[in-house]
Amino acid sequence: MSNTDFDGIVYDFSRFYILTILYEGPAHGYSIIDKFKKRLKKDISPSLVYPFLQLLEEKGHLKSTLKPVGKKERKVYELTERGKELITRLFKRFSSIVSTAIEPSLDVCAHCGCKVYEGAHIETIKGKKLTFCCKHCAATYKTE
């Protein structure tokens, strides 16, 4: 799939987040709207959700089946292999963007070298202020 297919389908955060909900497992339109609202504390219009689901289905990223949900029968959407590949590429792209944005604010553990975003353990050892990911790494560093 080319980047034009990519960009033509998912060009805003709302659509990206709809895909992340579907990545968790099959869902019907109302459950997607409900999860979106509960998790992001933001309303999403059915007029955005349903046409997007239809587009994804037309492009082969989703398949739908009618299933009983409570007393009603609902159209339940599920990612196809092609859809899973799409979301995997989107996750990689998003991860790259986030990494670029937060990389400058990361500390590196003086013992194990892992990157620490927040909550670093700071100790002064031999007059030098050092950053660790946890107190266990600090203790191990002191004994080496």
Instruction: Express each pLDDT in 61-87 by its tens digit.
Output: 999 999 988 888 999 999 999 999 999
Overall average pLDDT of the 33-50 stretch = 94
The full set of domains in the chain, from first to last, is 3-103 (1.10.10.10), 106-143 (no CATH)
Q: Which residues contact 15 (CB under 8 A, 6 or more apart)?
A: 9, 48, 52
Overall average pLDDT of the 25-41 stretch = 95
Instruction: Report the residue count for the chain.
Output: 144
How many CB atoms neighbour CB 46 within 10 A?
Answer: 11
pLDDT score of 59 more than 90: yes
Question: Sorting pLDDT into bands at 50, 70 and 90, what band is 7?
Answer: very low
Shortest CA distance to 98 belongs to which of 114, 113, 117?
Answer: 117
